Amino acid sequence: MKPFDYVRATSHADAHDSAARIIAGGTNLLDLMKHEIETPTKLLDVTRLDMTEIEEAENSVRIGALVTNADLAADPLIRERYGVLSRALLAGATGQLRNKASTGGNLLQRTRCPYFYDTTQPCNKREPGSGCMAMEGRNRILAILGTSEHCIATHPSDMAVAMRLLDARIEIEKPGGEAQILTLDEFYKLPGDTPHEETALEAGDLIVAVHLPDAPKGAQMYRKVRDRSSYAFALVSCAAVVATDRGKITDAALAFGGLAPKPWRNTEMERLLIGEAPSEALFDKAADVLLEGAQSHGDNDFKIPLTRRVVKAVLGELTGATQ
Amino acid sequence: MTEHLKMDKIQPRLLDETGQGAITKPTPRPEGPLKVSGTARYAGEYKAENMAQGYLVRAGITKGTFKIDRDSVKDMPGFLGLFTDHMIRNSAQGTANTNPVQPGPQIQYLGQPIAVVVAETFEQARHIAHAVKVDYQREDDATPDFSTATNFKEQEKKSLSQGDLEQAMADAAFTVDATFTTSPHNSAAMEPHTALATWEGDKVTVRGSLQMLKYNQNELADSLGIPAENVRLLSHYIGGGFGSKLGIDAACVSAAVASRHLGRPVRVEMHRNNVFEAVVLRTPSRQRVRLAADKDGNLLGVGHENWQSNLPDETFSEPIDTATHFLYGGDSRTYATHVARLNRPASGSVRAPGEAIGMLALENAMDELAEAAGIDPIDLRVRNIPEVHPESGFQYSSRSLAQCLTEGADRFGWSDRKAPKERREGEWFVGMGVASAARTNILMESKARVTLNPDGTALVETDMTDIGTGTYSILSLIAAEMLGLPSDQVTVELGDTDLPHASGSGGSWGAASSGSAVFLGAKAIRRKIAERLGCDPDALRLQDGIATGGNVRRPISELLDGPVTEEGHIEPGKQEVTQAGFGAHFAEVAVNSVTGEVRVQRMLAVMAAGRILNEQTAQSQVWGGQIWGVGTALTEEIQHDHRTGHVVNNDLAEYHVPVNLDIGDLDVLFVDERDDYANPMQVKGIGELGISGAGAAITNAIYNACGVRVRDYPATPDKIFPHL
């Protein structure tokens, strides 16, 4: 680990140091520093700041950036209204990690691509222009949507998938103190030619909260397919909320993990479902839209048919179409 | 005095006569509270005065040579030294007793340890190891990929052909000819390999995490080029070994080298990535199994050929067909082992080398044969149990296989088993599977010193190790039983090469071998007590510190005027019998009809391993085996990059050992058995018997649940859902 300075922020004014890397739970950053994938010269610890509350506001719930994953999952309000978020959180990591990991930090987890993690290997995300070993290598857990010729990394978070589904907004405090509000879609960048640029955060920015709008109508679920029952990243995960009325789908939203460099959502797919009667054929069409242009790379070929099966099962269950 | 026994003839069942009762009831391990409270100290928890910290530098290329630029880091904070001399390529193989390959500037796999950096602190050493400039001369003829390897060489000594298998296949009413593949595995012990080396003059003491000190002492001495008597090894607690700590490792060698150069103690702790690269892994395998049976399911022939890999110059090949030789009958038999030399981490012993993966293929093939012949898988196995070893003609020393299968079937509810896809619970298909368990039983030379004190306490001393298996427990129980003491009056000192040399922990022989040495030492003490009591040793009864013999009854404290010390020494003898532990594994699994995810709901292991010394630690061993079975069947897979041999999942986040939630109910039943040929205690190894066959029961259950045969391990969802 490269030597670094450690500074503790005692006020929000302290927390906008563009030369520093912010640390909260450290569950990912410390690993990255030990491997020298990240080598910050200064760590700014924000855990003493007042961002630990879950507050109900008009038409929304505001989650402080320091609320731990464990506390967020167990919060009665979250469990009651946003069950999908609670379940997504509990599907991620382990009890120990969830006790430390923060809401803001979870959003900023970096990919688990194995080549990114080994500094003896080229990686365009770690060292722009050095090449991608994953494309033709071991890419079982890597992405099939939203990739580029430079990077096929997946975003590993479960929490962020549910937040994308729920149209969450990320509240960012800029160095001047003003607030910036971004959707998760706006917050995360696709790799394109710059896979090392992952989010819209700028130097000195601080994530202070996540806002959840009123819960959507309908039944919620989070389904995660993985290689073991816990402490495994998603092969495919799906957060969904679907409402039906008199045999028709009246509302539908689906977000996916394990498929793309960011929590994935396809509004065209959702539009296709709304107003229709649930049927296997409809679900297949929805999967067609989602998977149009999907590109697999060998080890992860299975994700395309697996995603289709998951989409159909989730929609079947939420609409009651499954016998 | 030394009580010596060469085990070439059967011995009386003395432990059925002693009356203390120490080994007839389940007993918690004495060091358990230390372990769960964090006060049992492991190698990495020791510090020495003025200790420096070392960190291994990994090779960043697959094949070639390197030059490392010491000057590029010599001015970094904390830098003390960078050393490449004596560096070993990989850990020694089990019982090697000599140095492993020391390749100098040659690199033969990505991740090979090429140097140790030493600094004042661990973090400084790690940072310097990342920063150091290494110039590589790459060689472009590396062959890291197993699936496309062509340089297989048949190990002719391991081949055997008896009868005519081709003809048997042609004549058979039912045949199976199936090819299976298994992934490389890592032992994934919780404690990484760590060493703390301290020199005094020309003698070095190394605290390490090692399974077999007697051999490791010679291996380290040979690696350093010094006499073995100048090496002392200490290994009191070991956080799991599973084969990865059988041989001396790069942490021990580099700590000793650096400490000698610097004149101060040096500790080297392997990073988890090193544990996945620099110690031995289980080979990948391809296995072809052929079975030929007549119309009643009686085997006419068996074939088991395998293809595996290792680094150049490694003598080890995994004995994949071990159990196939003696488990089932059939006159025509064919075996062959082929090894490719690949540029990837060394292959070596990982938990039950041979049976752990060989029995996956054999027991899956038996399941396929049962299906083809329309015979219940348990009936098929029972009817093919041979009278004598089908190749050597030897009798079996003890074999309760049929009993394990049939009693297990009753206990598990086997009669409720249905045809594939007939039992469905919501989205899940549910099914049951069975497999035989078999694991060769081995006795190794072992010594122990036993002391009985007049105050009714006893001391056992040996350089045996406890790798979590329960050695402290069973040695104290054996001494307690033989000397007539409560087991908490017995102190066991292990893990120090200054003590009498034991078998070490490996091959499931530890309890039988080191236990027999303790048994013999205590037996000699019994003889002395009998003399003093004036009775025949056979008439002596020792219980709770009281000696009874003839018509005399006296407390030990009165009979002894000082400590009595005896050494026990067991050696294997020549016996013309087939000796193995046997058992049966049952599994019930649920397979998700959408995703192909498999969840193990319950497992049963019925184990026959001779006398059980401590049912509690034995049960823990079998649980461990069942859980290994889950990992082997469903999740564990070292993923090598096919271009570089790079272990891409070289940590515990991505190498998937099972988690708690993957494990359903585990049930273990022991069959009461004595093996008179095994050793004077009539015990057989239990640890690895628990894994042998366990994974096959799970994949057989997957087939019974959903009708999908997975022959390519592990059975991850992607290998199942496309067929549902």
* Number of domains within chain A: 2
Q: How many whole angstroms separate alpha carbon B318 and alpha carbon B284?
A: 10
Cis-peptide into B714, omega within 30 deg: yes
Q: B603 and B566: one domain?
A: no
Segments forming the whole domain that contains residue B534 = 2-40+444-572
Strand order of the β-sheet with B106-107 is B106-107, B64-69, B133-138
Taking Cα atoms as reference points, which of B34, B33, B15 lies closest to residue B477?
B15
How confident is residue B568, by pLDDT bands cut at 50, 70 and 90? very high
Is B130's CB within 8 Å of A36's CB? yes
Domain presence at residue B207:
no
Q: Tokens 């082997």 — which residue?
A: B632
Q: How many whole angstroms separate alpha carbon B172 and alpha carbon A307?
A: 44
Is B123's CB within 8 Å of A1's CB? yes
Query: Is the Cβ–Cβ distance between B242 and B276 less than 8 Å?
Result: no
Query: Is the Cβ–Cβ distance between B209 and B235 less than 8 Å?
Result: yes
The 10 Å Cβ neighbour count of residue B716 is: 24
pLDDT number for residue A321: 81
Per DSSP, B634 falls in state: I
Per DSSP, B311 falls in state: -
Q: B428 and B455: one domain?
A: no
Q: What share of chain A is helix, strand, coil (3-state, %, to 5)?
A: 25, 25, 50
pLDDT number for residue B406: 98
Which domain-ending residue is among B572, B587, B611?
B572
Q: B615 and B694: one domain?
A: yes
Burial of B201 (0-12, 13-18, 19+ CB in 10 A): exposed
Q: B525 and B640: one domain?
A: no
Taking Cα atoms as reference points, which of B295, B350, B304 lies closest to residue B324?
B304
Residue A130, helix vs strand vs coil: coil
Maximum pairwise Cα distance, chain A: 63
Q: How many whole angstroms separate alpha carbon B143 and alpha carbon B196?
A: 35
* Number of domains within chain B: 2
The number of CA neighbours under 13 Å toward the Cβ of B567 is 12
Find the CB nearest A114 among B127, B427, B649.
B649
Find the CB nearest B60 among A112, A115, A120.
A120
Interchain contact B16–A (C-beta under 8 A): no
Is residue B38 left, alpha or beta, with left meaning phi > 0 and alpha meaning psi from -120 to 50? left
Q: What is the mean pLDDT of residues B565-575?
A: 97
The 10 Å Cβ neighbour count of residue A258 is: 29
- Alpha carbon dihedral B390, B393, B394, B399, in 10-degree steps, equals 30
Mean pLDDT over the full length of chain B: 97
Q: How many whole angstroms separate alpha carbon B172 and alpha carbon B366?
A: 15
Q: How many whole angstroms separate alpha carbon A171 and alpha carbon A179?
A: 7
Q: What are phi and psi of A222, to 5 degrees?
A: -130, 125
Q: Mind listing the pLDDT tens digit for each residue in A232-254?
A: 999 999 999 999 999 999 999 99
H/E segment holding residue B306 = strand B299-310
The 10 Å Cβ neighbour count of residue B697 is: 33
Domain presence at residue B552:
yes
pLDDT number for residue A24: 98
pLDDT number for residue A238: 98
pLDDT number for residue B465: 98
Domain presence at residue B667:
yes
| B634 CA to centre of own chain | 20
Distances (CA, A) of B251 to A118, B206, B209, B465: 21, 10, 10, 18
pLDDT number for residue B697: 98
Taking Cα atoms as reference points, which of B627, B657, B720 lies closest to residue B185?
B657
Q: How many whole angstroms separate alpha carbon B86 and alpha carbon B84?
A: 7
Domain presence at residue A69:
no
Q: B599 and B711: one domain?
A: yes
Q: Mind listing the pLDDT tens digit for each residue in A95-127?
A: 999 999 999 999 999 999 999 999 999 999 999
Distance from CA of B159 to the nearest CA of A (A): 35
pLDDT number for residue B550: 85
Q: Active site residue: B3, B363, B371, B688, which one?
A: B688
Q: How many whole angstroms separate alpha carbon B276 and alpha carbon B192?
A: 10
Distance from CA of A181 to the nearest CA of B (A): 34
Q: B483 and B584: one domain?
A: no
Q: What is the mean pLDDT of residues B385-408?
A: 98
Q: Express as a percent the part of chain A with pLDDT over 70.
A: 100
Is B721's CB within 8 Å of A309's CB? yes
Positive or negative CA dihedral for A57, A59, A65, A67?
Answer: positive
Q: B497 and B618: one domain?
A: no
Which domain-ending residue is among B515, B540, B572?
B572
Q: B409 and B489: one domain?
A: no
β-strand partners of B460: B450, B492
Query: Is the Cβ–Cβ distance between B320 and B304 less than 8 Å?
Result: yes
Residue B576 reports pLDDT greater than 90: yes
Domain presence at residue A148:
no
Q: What is the mean pLDDT of residues A39-49?
A: 97
How confident is residue A256, by pLDDT bands cut at 50, 70 and 90? very high
Question: What is the β-pairing status of strands B546-549 and B541-543?
Answer: antiparallel
Interchain contact B38–A (C-beta under 8 A): no
Q: Mind listing the pLDDT tens digit for each residue in B2-46?
A: 999 999 999 999 999 998 999 989 999 999 999 999 999 999 999
Question: What is the β-pairing status of strands B153-154 and B332-341?
Answer: antiparallel
The 10 Å Cβ neighbour count of residue B113 is: 24
How confident is residue B700, by pLDDT bands cut at 50, 70 and 90? very high
Q: How many whole angstroms separate alpha carbon B175 and alpha carbon B301?
A: 9
How confident is residue B491, by pLDDT bands cut at 50, 70 and 90? very high
Domain presence at residue B468:
yes
Q: B500 and B638: one domain?
A: no
Domain presence at residue A147:
no
Best probe of the A interface among B109, B123, B641, B643, by most A CBs < 10 A, is B641
Domain presence at residue A287:
yes
Find the CB nearest A121 among B126, B130, B646.
B646
Residue A27 reports pLDDT greater than 60: yes
Q: B651 and B702: one domain?
A: yes
Q: Domain holding A26: CATH number? A: 3.30.43.10
Name residue B547's amino acid: A
Interchain contact B721–A (C-beta under 8 A): yes
Maximum pairwise Cα distance, chain B: 82
Domain presence at residue B152:
no
H/E segment holding residue A318 = helix A303-319
Query: Is the Cβ–Cβ distance between A258 and A236 less than 8 Å?
Result: yes
Q: How many whole angstroms separate alpha carbon B290 and alpha carbon B332?
A: 11
Is A229's CB within 8 Å of B58's CB? no
Q: Which residues contact A203 (CB under 8 A, 6 or more apart)?
A: A18
pLDDT number for residue B34: 96
Domain presence at residue B214:
no
Domain presence at residue A256:
yes
Q: Among this protein's residues, is B636 annotated catalytic? A: no
H/E segment holding residue B624 = helix B615-630
pLDDT number for residue B24: 84
Strand order of the β-sheet with B52-58 is B79-83, B113-119, B52-58, B266-269, B194-200, B203-207, B231-234
pLDDT number for residue A40: 97
Report DSSP letters for B383-418, one per residue: HT--SS-TTT-PEES---HHHHHHHHHHHHTGGG--
Q: How many whole angstroms separate alpha carbon B564 and alpha carbon B522?
A: 10
How confident is residue B342, by pLDDT bands cut at 50, 70 and 90? very high
H/E segment holding residue B137 = strand B133-138
| A270 CA to centre of own chain | 19
Q: How many whole angstroms separate alpha carbon B476 and alpha carbon B498?
A: 20
Query: Where are the strands (E) in B501-551, listed by range?
Result: 541-543, 546-549
Residue B628 reports pLDDT greater than 90: yes
Domain presence at residue B663:
yes
Query: Is the Cβ–Cβ distance between B596 and B436 less than 8 Å?
Result: no
Residue B532, helix vs strand vs coil: helix
Best probe of the A interface among B424, B595, B601, by most A CBs < 10 A, is B595
pLDDT number for residue B297: 98
How confident is residue A63, by pLDDT bands cut at 50, 70 and 90? very high
Q: B390 and B462: one domain?
A: no
Chain B CB contacts of A310 below 8 Å: 594-595
Is A115's CB within 8 Å of B126's CB? no
Q: Domain holding B633: CATH number? A: 3.30.365.10
Q: Mind listing the pLDDT tens digit for each residue in B577-593?
A: 999 999 999 999 999 99
Is residue B313 left, alpha or beta, with left meaning phi > 0 and alpha meaning psi from -120 to 50? left
Question: Among residues 73-132 of chain B, which lie with CB inside 8 Å of chain A?
Answer: 77, 110, 123, 126-127, 130
Q: Express as a percent the part of chain B with pLDDT over 90.
A: 99
Query: Is the Cβ–Cβ distance between B491 and B593 less than 8 Å?
Result: no
Residue A323 reports pLDDT greater than 70: no
Q: B378 and B405: one domain?
A: yes
Interchain contact B641–A (C-beta under 8 A): yes
B62: nearest CA partner in chain A: A120
Residue B124, helix vs strand vs coil: helix
How confident is residue B1, by pLDDT bands cut at 50, 70 and 90? confident
Q: Domain holding A247: CATH number? A: 3.30.390.50
The 10 Å Cβ neighbour count of residue A247 is: 10
Mean pLDDT over the full length of chain A: 97
Segments forming the whole domain that contains residue A41 = 5-45
Q: What are phi and psi of B119, to 5 degrees?
A: -145, 175
Is A229's CB within 8 Å of B661's CB? yes
Q: Mind listing the pLDDT tens digit for each residue in B646-678?
A: 999 999 999 999 999 999 999 999 999 999 999
Which domain-ending residue is among B541, B572, B603?
B572
Is B110's CB within 8 Å of A306's CB? no
